[in-house]
Amino acid sequence: MKYPDQEIHDEIYKIVSQLGYRVFTFLPKEGTKYPFIVIGDTHLLPTATKSFLIGEVALNIHVWSDMTSRKKVSDIIHSLLHSFSKIRRIDERQWSMKLGSDSQIIKDNSTDEQLYHGIISVNFKFIG
- Under 8 Å CB-to-CB from 101, ≥6 apart: which residues? 81, 84, 120, 121, 122, 123
Measured distance CA(2)–CA(79) in Å, rounded:
26
Mean pLDDT, rounded, for 61-89: 96
Per-residue pLDDT, 52: 83
Cβ contact 29:38 at 8 Å: no
* Angle 29-31-34 from CA coordinates, rounded to 5°: 100
Res. 38 pLDDT band, cuts 50 70 90: very high
Domains and CATH numbers, the chain: 4-127 (3.30.2000.30)
